[in-house]
Amino acid sequence: MRDLILKTSKEITCEDGPRRTIDVRDFTTTYWAYSIEFEASMEDKTRLSGKLEPKQLQKLSESLQQANEIRKFIVAGFNACAITKVQYLQYCAQFQMLDDLARQIDNLTKNKTLSDVDRNTLMNLVQRYIELTKELGKEGK
């Protein structure tokens, strides 16, 4: 995979030094492949509809869409030298947190029934996912 990225990227020089450009498709599949799987599971809302309130399910769906837009912004900004390498790494860490939350949410929603503790955990994870996406959106402005 790394060879593919190197073949499709080019070297540019920014104020903070040289870097290789990133293709948004490579960025998404290489670093947050699980998010794609989670997004696909969100499309089939039947698995989540009995476990989340409709408003929370809608907010989670909107957060996934917002995260995708932020990914595009980050890649475009990095490729245009508008985002430094340090900022890029900070965004990467935040997206890793989103990915971890998505995995936890997905694991909980695979259960056919949830205990009250699991339901509260799920709602807290979803709320954290939504909040983290909002934070990313604010930083990206």
pLDDT tens by residue, 22-37: 887 766 665 555 565 6
3-class SS of residue 7: helix
DSSP 21-76: ---HHHHHHHH-HHHHHHHHHHHSTHHHHTTS-HHHHHHHHHHHHHHHHHHHHHHH
Which of the two residues, 113 and 30, has the higher pLDDT score?
113
- Count of CA atoms in the C-beta half-sphere (13 A) of 67: 28
Tokens encoding 68: 């995708």
pLDDT band, very low/low/confident/very high, at 1 (cuts 50, 70, 90): very low
**30-34, 47-51, 76-80, 110-114: lowest mean pLDDT where?**
30-34
pLDDT band, very low/low/confident/very high, at 16 (cuts 50, 70, 90): very high
Please tell me the distance from the alpha carbon of residue 54 to that of residue 100, in angstroms, as a whole number: 23
pTM confidence score: 0.78
The residue count of the chain comes to 141
